[in-house]
Structure 1
Amino acid sequence: MLSSLLVALCLVLVLEGILPFAAPARWKQLLRSVSSVSDRQARLIGLLSMITGTACLYLLR
């Protein structure tokens, strides 16, 4: 269980690093636009992301 969690964390780090590595200017622009999002919108985006990720894991397993 712990091993699977660590593998998942490592994959998240790899995926999170792709955009800043491949297109740093676009990544900075994206960060600027995300910082202007309201707290409510950020929570909704986070909720939708968690639901989508959970559904994908359910379908894969």
Structure 2
Amino acid sequence: MAWSDLLAGFAFFLMIEGLLPFVRPDAWRRGISILSEMQDGQLRRTGFIIVVAGLALLYLVRA
């Protein structure tokens, strides 16, 4: 994997992350307030699930 692939992936990530606050700032704000009320354990489990899903998707794409 070249550095250009990594930077392209990061650029894509930034575009996706910026879409919701740009298109629906009210929904984004509600989502952030829900996240801020979650327990630490819930956030860790959610983060772990997202990481595993990302790794699985990367494995499927690159395999």
Query: TM class, shorter-chain normalised?
Result: over 0.9
| Whole-Å separation in 2 of the counterparts to 1:27 and 1:9 | 21
TM-score by length of 1: 0.93
Task: Return 46-55 or 2-11, whichever deviates more.
Answer: 2-11
Which residues of structure 1 form unaligned runs of 5+?
none
What is the match of residue 2 of structure 1? Answer: 3
Aligned residue in 2 for 1:47 = 48
Match of 1:13 in 2: 14
- Matched AA of 1:5: L
TM-score, scaled to structure 2: 0.90
Q: Which runs of 4+ in 1 moved over 3 A?
A: none
CA–CA distance in structure 1, aligned partners of residues 61 and 5 of structure 2:
15
Unaligned runs of 5+ in 2: none
- Alignment: residue pair count: 61
